[in-house]
Amino acid sequence: MVTEITKGIKVSVETEYQPAYSSPSQYHYVFTYRITIENQSENTIQLLRRQWNIYDAGFSMREVEGEGVVGQQPVLEPGQSHQYVSGCNLKSGIGKMVGSYLMERIVDGVKVRVNIPEFTMVAPLRLN
C-alpha cells in the first residue's frame, strides 16, 4: 500500500492483479485498485474531480480526467473516510498510475488539489 497526505487529506492505494479477467496472450492485463480517502483536516470537503496519468510500459501515457470517482462526489466531514474500487487495463502487464483529486472546502468554497500517490501495477507472470 502507498499513502500520501496533502493538506490533511490522506489518500491510500492498494492494487491487485485480476488474472480471471486478463488475457496475456492478447496483451490484456486487468488490475483493480482500492482507494481510501481520509479527511484528517479540520474542514468538511467534497471531492469534485479526478485526474490520472496512466503509464503502460512501452506504450504512450494516457490521461483520464472527469467528475467524481465511480459516479460519486463524496462529502467528507473531519474524521470521515471514503473507499472505492476501480480498475485499469494495461497492454504490457507493467505500469503505474499517478494523479490528483480536485476537492472543495465546503466552509468557503476554496478548491484544493490533493495528490494521489504513484502506484505500480505488475502482473506476477511478468516478473519471470
In a domain, 22, yes or no: yes
Q: Is the pTM of this model over 0.85?
A: yes
Distance of alpha carbon 106 from its chain centroid, rounded? 23
CATH assignment of the domain containing 86 = 2.60.40.1470
Instruction: Identify whether 16 is part of a domain.
Output: yes
CA angle 92, 96, 121 (to 5 degrees): 65
Q: What is the pLDDT of residue 50?
A: 98
Contact criterion met (CB below 8 Å) for 54 and 61: yes
- Could you report the average pLDDT of every consecutive run of 10 residues in the chain (128 residues)? 98 98 96 98 98 96 96 97 97 97 97 98 84
Residue 128 has a pLDDT of 65
Going from the C-alpha of 62 to that of each of 51, 96, 103, the distances in angstroms are 11, 11, 22
What pLDDT is recorded for position 8? Answer: 98
User: What is the bridge-based pairing of β-strands 62-67 and 75-76?
Assistant: unpaired
Residue 128 falls inside a structural domain: no
Read off the pLDDT of residues 87-116 as tens digits, 9 standing for 90 and up.
999 999 999 999 999 999 999 999 999 999
SS3 64: strand
pLDDT at 125: 80
* Residue whose C-alpha cell reads 482500492 in the numeric block: 34
Structural domain span for residue 80: 2-123
With 0-12 / 13-18 / 19 or more C-beta atoms within 10 angstroms meaning exposed / middle / buried, residue 76 is buried
